[in-house]
Amino acid sequence: MTTMIAYRIHGFGGPEVFKAEKIEVPEPGANEVLVRVRAASANPVDLKTRAGQYPLVREDKLPYTLGRDFSGTVERVGDGVAQWHAGDDVYGFVGQGQGAYAEFVVVDASALARPPKTVDATTAGAVPLAALTAWQGLFDHGKLEAGGRVLIHAGSGGVGHFAVQFAKHKGAEVFATASGDGVEFVRALGADCVIDYHTQRFEDVARGMDLVFDLVGGDTQQRSWDVVATGGALISTLNEPSQTEASSRGARAARYTAQPDGRQLTEIQRLMDAGSVRVAIAERFAFDATADALERLAKGHVRGKIVVAMT
């Protein structure tokens, strides 16, 4: 049996349930690819899953390997995979049931793409989940178009910092909320107007938004209805927005879960290689310090992404 190190949980809880262990290297099935992981990123979903607060991972899925996105190199491919070969560099977002905090991960062939050539493998590993979430929220669900006005809540985080850049690149007018040194960080990403949510009410600054992209939820989401234009949309990665509020404004409301998508990752790779979009790495951790990477994320106030590198 060939073994590898993977970071797993056998029960829900805090840092104490997250442990490195030796497990069997998974085999790629039909239309799947086995990837040797070079870097994986830290995402809030890892903390929520660990705590038992992520509805898609309940008790019967345990033990469970955490880590949802990565960069790496194809080790071998399963039946029916023609587009990937051993030695190819890839990056991707892992579907349910696999984990990227491991030396190897099995991924659907369609979830993979070539990583940006202009960044190293560690940096590329920070991109897929956050960038796809931003892309799908703005364009697939939010239908943001050139000239549209968008308010992005939490512009300084992993998802938000991509969303600000994608929306600017699209030609939208971008408002974003942030706090402290996050305000300057988001301004430097190209936002037209950055609102410090500690000192300003976003409702006093951003009005008539075609889209509110909500990465905060709760009261921030509820208050956001006051700034949505007639015919606009409120799209959230968190709690389900009120359909009653939406219909009273002739607006749309949706909550979504980001999905793996190799084709969208290829578009993101092109934007990065063209210099139109960059990923900000807040901190890097070694693989044997993966637990520390998660604790850093849990402390909050991250500007961009936290990434774990295998070497």
Ligand X SMILES: NC(=O)c1ccc[n+]([C@@H]2O[C@H](COP(=O)([O-])OP(=O)(O)OC[C@H]3O[C@@H](n4cnc5c(N)ncnc54)[C@H](OP(=O)(O)O)[C@@H]3O)[C@@H](O)[C@H]2O)c1
Residue type, 137: G
Residue 239 near ligand X by CB under 6 A: no
- What pairing do the DSSP bridges indicate for beta strands 32-42 and 69-77? antiparallel
Where does this chain touch ligand X (CB under 6 A) — which range of 28-36, 111-119, 205-213, 300-308?
A: 300-308
Residue number closest to ligand X, CB atom = 157
Least distance to ligand X, CB of residue 302, Å: 5
Task: At 270, give phi and psi (nearest 5°).
Answer: -65, -40
AA letter at 164: V
Instruction: Please tell me whether residue 92 binds ligand X under the rule CB under 6 A.
Output: no
Per-residue three-class SS string for 90-143: EEEECCCCCCCCECEEEEEHHHEECCCCCCCHHHHCCCHHHHHHHHHHHHHHCC
Residue 123 Cβ vs ligand X, minimum distance, rounded to whole Å: 16
Q: Of the candidates 116, 128, 160, 232, which one interacts with ligand X according to CB under 6 A?
A: 160
Please state, in angstroms and rounded to a whole number, the distance separating the CA atoms of residues 99 and 69. Answer: 8
215 forms part of the interface with ligand X (CB under 6 A): yes
The reply to whether 43 sits near ligand X by the rule CB under 6 A is: yes
301 binds ligand X (CB under 6 A): yes
Binding residue (CB under 6 A) for ligand X from 116, 158, 232, 262: 158
Choose one: 4-12, 16-24, 40-48, 76-84; the region binding ligand X (CB under 6 A).
Answer: 40-48
The span of 71-79, 82-90, 226-234, 298-306 binding ligand X (CB under 6 A) equals 298-306
What does residue 74 show for φ and ψ, rounded to 5 degrees? -65, 130
DSSP state of 261: -
For residues 304 and 311, give the distance between their C-alpha atoms in angstroms, rounded to a whole number.
21
Q: Does 154 bind ligand X (CB under 6 A)?
A: yes
